[in-house]
Homo-oligomer: A and B are copies of this chain.
């Protein structure tokens, strides 16, 4: 199941790269129209592929030490954030250079909302779960919200990508069912399947981390020792 998700994610990246590389003149970083092509590639790579991988580390590495997995979760999402910042800079720079308005379309409204909520979620995750700043009660209150918004943000990222694809196809002025449109629409459907598969694996019990008596003992020990009873695990 997770291998299928990895294959789907790579297929999404390849289709995005081929779409922009073959049909729209490849990539550049010189404020030319080719710099725009960096935007979809970075957003799919950051906010969908790497983001989805980051969501799933607790399921894929469910037998590894929880603290290592937690660091990997934070690192993958940090990479996702950095790559999506590059993707945002790419499009804002091209828009500014060529006099196109920014933050005009529903795609940009939803995409920016997704990015800002993701940044907030990442910072809160860092403060609540990776650094010992929050009390057990606060952690327990925030964990289900963190998980819920984790999946909401993936759905919003896929939804924003779909709008971006739909807009790009219209602006490219293609004939109905042109090969480029079929490729772009197929990319859209694969993104939906990727989101669906990540959501399925995360919400199924059989992929959950098995209870680990050693971790539980450590957690209890840590709680007894520390003044404000912080658990070692989110």
Minimum Cβ distance to chain B for residue A31 (Å) = 20
Please determine whether A148 and B192 come into contact, CB atoms closer than 8 angstroms: no
A110 at the interface (CB under 8 A from B): yes
- Copies of this chain, count: 2
Please determine whether A166 and B105 come into contact, CB atoms closer than 8 angstroms: yes
Assembly CA distance A193 to B189 (angstroms): 23
Instruction: Give the size category of A's interface with B.
Output: 35 or more
Q: With A104-B181, A106-B184, A177-B104 in contact, do A113 and B189 touch (Cβ < 8 Å)?
A: yes
Assembly CA distance A166 to B195 (angstroms): 21
Give the interface centre of A185, A195, A199, A200 by most chain B CB atoms within 10 Å. Answer: A185
Choose, from A46-54, A58-66, A84-92, A152-160, the stretch at the interface. Answer: A152-160
Minimum Cβ distance to chain B for residue A76 (Å) = 23
Residues of A within 8 A of B (CB): 101, 104-107, 109-110, 113, 144, 148, 152, 155-156, 158-159, 162-163, 165-167, 169-171, 176-177, 181, 184-185, 188-189, 192, 195-196, 199-200, 203-204
